[in-house]
Amino acid sequence: MGKMQIDDTEISVISISKEDYISLTDMVRKLENGLSLIEKWLRNKNTLEFLGIWEEMYNSEFNTAEYHMIMGEAGLNRFVMSVKQWVNRTNSKGIVAKAGRYGGTYAHRDIAFEFASWVSPQFKLYLVKEFQRLKEQEQRQLGWSAKRELAKINYRIHTDAIKQNLVPPLLTSQQISYIYANEADVLNVALFGMTAKEWREKDPGRKGNIRDYASINELICLSNMENINAVLIHDGYEQKERLIKLNRIAIQQMTILEEQNAGKRLE
């Protein structure tokens, strides 16, 4: 996820074994004696009980015997506990200490939310809300990336169909490349109303290609059209016939997709 911004505090989030870990160090960095709060929290017997339950639920390598020894020591005036001691003695996975540029104490989101609640219930609510917002944003981005990857896969199917059915033998690699580009532009013209070259000439300063600027609906439509075009090529349709058919399909599919989006916005 990267970073969360709560008021004027930037909090790092990293992924460990596909789980989200939030920086406790960042949470308290701007508080007076902030870093000492983490160790003070760790010395709390209720905290240790919560951590032990979490580790026993999710960490098969947790040192339960050592944990019970720590619980026996907790509450005594001489009892001290640091993140390093906790990790080394119990083989904890819920809390980790990271070195380097983005170093500090990180905790699994379950534990980080518990720590935030101990620091300030209000801060915890803001933290949970921002975390949920970023997760939703991340899911939307993953959805867009998945559709982009689907378009790439279908493009490979599409180009393979061109190679098998449109490319005569003994052509030069330059001629083959030209046929591929030409076929890609059949889809570009059918969906976007212009070739890749026309799109570049329209705004020479833009980077990337026409498909990089496509909407989610356009990528869905493009993915479908690539499959349909591959079938039409296999069935022997001339390029002009395919362009007309694909344009009609693009208009029909985009109309349906846009109507669905409009309906969701009204809801």
Categorize the per-residue pLDDT at 267 as very low, low, confident or very high, splitting at 50, 70 and 90.
very low
Domain regions of the chain by residue span: 2-119, 140-266
Estimate to the nearest angstrom the gap between the alpha carbon of 229 and the chain centroid: 31
Residue 265 pLDDT > 50: no
Count of residues making up the chain: 267
> pLDDT: is 169 or 182 the higher one?
182
CA distance 26 to 46: 23
pLDDT at 48: 94
pLDDT at 176: 56
pLDDT at 53: 93
Q: pLDDT digit string (tens) for 86-105?
A: 999 999 999 998 876 667 89
Q: Which residues contact 210 (CB under 8 A, 6 or more apart)?
A: 188, 192, 194, 196, 199
pLDDT at 171: 53
Q: pLDDT digit string (tens) for 136-164?
A: 777 666 666 666 666 776 666 666 665 55
Three-point CA angle 113, 105, 31, nearest 5°: 70
Q: pLDDT digit string (tens) for 184-211?
A: 888 888 888 888 888 888 888 888 888 8
Pairing status of strand 104-108 against strand 19-23: antiparallel
Percent of the chain clearing pLDDT 90 (strictly above): 24
The predicted model gives 8-22 an average pLDDT of 87
**Which uninterrupted H or E stretch holds 29?**
none
- Torsion sign, CA atoms 109, 112, 118, 123: negative
Residue 38 pLDDT > 70: yes
What are the residue ranges of helices labelled H in the chain? 24-28, 34-43, 45-58, 64-73, 83-90, 109-119, 121-165, 173-192, 196-202, 216-234, 239-266
Q: pLDDT digit string (tens) for 215-246?
A: 888 888 888 888 898 889 888 888 888 888 88
Mean pLDDT, all residues of the chain: 82
Categorize the per-residue pLDDT at 25 as very low, low, confident or very high, splitting at 50, 70 and 90.
very high
Q: pLDDT digit string (tens) for 41-75?
A: 999 999 999 999 999 999 999 999 999 999 999 88
